[in-house]
Structure 1
Amino acid sequence: MTCRFAVLAAAGALALAACSDGSGESGEQAVTDLERIDTDGAADAAAKTLPAGDFGALTLGAKVAGPQGDEVKGALSNATGNFADVRSYVACPAGMDPCNPATAPEGTVFTYVHVVHPGEDNDPTSGDGEGNTSSNVERATEFRLTMPAHGFTGEAGYSKAEALAAVGAKADVVVTCHEGGLVWTVSAGDGGDQWKQAEPLTFYWRSTVPPAGPRDAYAIFANYTAAHGPGPYPAADASAPNACATPAEPR
């Protein structure tokens, strides 16, 4: 494993349970070791955590139709095999149909959506399907962009209902910036259920830059290894801000 794809444990340690109030039977707030800010590094990670929206609360418009249609399907893989199916698309704001970047008004915000199934989704017609060659995914802990999120508005999130179904009430999903890109760290703590084989989890982020075509710009960390694959990706635009970029990083 390289540092680039190490699980952001410090950030994950700081998330409050996304799908639960975390209260115990006594009515007191339950605090796990993952939620304690007891080091300078943890405090620094807390400052970098982005507010996470709920995909289920979004109302989207039509999808962008690219060279592969209005959805990009593929696998996140490495030399060992495939570790996830991923289905991605980009949508215009609610009420915009069709969604054509060439004619979209200036300032249009595009929502990039990625539905990730660790291992496979058991549907041979989607993603990698029957071609999956990884061992059973017992624990997936991270989904990320491996390239800068050009035009990122600062709005990102995931499906809280899917996180609850996959991981349970102790699910911690933390969104952070890293090298101009985005990282979603998924944790169930030291025990409990985990995000694992064939459990879909939807992630999203928003950009003022439309997709320029599929790029190998996404990754999952599953079974303690990183696996990469394609998805819609915006072209670099020097005039578009990136909420994850620092002055020293590409926008």
Structure 2
Amino acid sequence: MALGACTSEADDTSATDLEKANSDGEAVAMANAIAAGSFMDLQLGAKISGPQGPEPKTVFSTAEGNFADMTSYVACPAGMDSCDPANAPAGTVYTYVHIVYPGEDNDPTTGSGNGNDSSDVERAEVFRMTRPAVGFTGEAGYSKAEALAAIGPKADVVISCDNGALVWTVSAGDGGNQWEQAEPLTFYWKSTVPPSGPQDAYQLKVNYTEANAKGPFPGEAAGATNACMAQGQ
């Protein structure tokens, strides 16, 4: 059984690592790529509970309508049974987790609500920040198991930096199965700075348009580093 588990993890990794660029955008992402961790390998502690609770929900929208739901949370390291930034020890690293549902998550009480407010989502390609990742430690990743479930073994996800912001490029090649309607995909990144509340900081390129959303994001912090900026990206 142990051998089987190791084989499964190895297959998972090889199937989702970006191996070649199929477009100019992917070539740029490859050039600036950072190592992608696996969400399944994370060991997290308690979640921060803010004004909207421990798992705030939001929606990616444009003037024309809503295109996706997102559930987020921010967790302290494993072993911390309570996650209160006001009382957290110095050096605490916070893990920001974002679960993106193209179209909707089929829960009428959250996000886009009952039914899809936009046309059917046929292709989601990029999840990214729209501002520099304050306190970014250099560690980020996604759920490789979910990428395989949504897209199949051809799934390619690469993480890159763009002027200090993190970008997850999701490639499924041309035609065939894509990251599409009601297929959740989890992304994460780590910061030394806790969230200051929901901010307009996230964007999803979906159905060839750019939809924006608020979500937990670090506030400004004097002296906080950003691994993207350290790389000149």
C-alpha contact (below 8 Å) 1:81/1:134 kept by paired residues: yes
Secondary structure of 1:34's counterpart equals coil
Q: CA offsets per residue over residues 22-41 of structure 1, 9 Å max, x none?
A: 6xxxxxxxx76629xxx9x9
Q: Which residue of the partner structure matches residue 242 of structure 1?
A: 226
Please state whether the residue corresponding to 1:183 is helix, strand or coil.
Answer: strand
Match in the other structure for 1:105: 89
For residues 107-130 of structure 1, give each alpha carbon's deviation from its aligned partner in whole angstroms, at most 9, with x where no partner exists.
Answer: 100000000000101111332221
**1:158-173 counterparts in 2 under 5 A?**
158-173=142-157
Cross-structure match for 1:34: 22
Counterparts in 2 of 1:131 and 1:179: CA distance versus 1, 3 Å? farther
Letter in 2 for 1:218: Y
Change (3 A) 1:97 1:20: closer
How far off its partner does 1:67 sit? Answer: 1.2
Give yes or no for contact 1:20–1:169 (8 Å, CA) kept in 2: no
Alignment of 1:83 with 2:70, yes or no, is no
Counterparts of 1:32 and 1:178 in 2: how far apart (Å)? 20
The answer to whether residue 127 in structure 2 is matched with residue 140 in structure 1 is: no
User: How many correspondences in the alignment?
Assistant: 219
Q: Is the 8 Å Cα contact of residues 20 and 170 (structure 1) preserved in structure 2?
A: no
Q: Is residue 130 of structure 1 aligned with residue 114 of structure 2? A: yes
Q: Specify every segment of 5 or more residues in structure 2 that has no aligned partner in the other structure, as ranges.
A: 1-10
Distance 2:209 2:112 in 1: 18
Work out which of the residue numbers 205, 216, 222 in structure 2 matches 1:232.
216
Structure 1 segment 192-203 matched on structure 2, within 5 A: 192-203=176-187
Task: Return the alpha-carbon distance in structure 2 between the equivalents of residues 192 and 247 of structure 1.
Answer: 36
Give the TM-score, by structure 2 length.
0.87
Unaligned residue ranges in structure 1 (runs of 5+): 1-17, 23-30
Change (3 A) 1:160 1:154: same
Superposed CA RMSD in Å reads: 2.2
Amino acid at match of 2:110: S
The answer as to whether partners of 1:153 and 1:206 remain within 8 angstroms in 2 is yes
**Matching residue within 125, 133, 136 for 1:149:** 133
Deviations 1:131-160 (A, max 9, x none): 641110000001011111000000000000
Instruction: Give the 3 Å change call, closer, same or farther, for CA 133–164 of structure 1 in structure 2.
Output: same
Extract structure 1 runs of 4+ deviating beyond 4 A. Answer: 246-249
Identity of aligned residues (%): 63
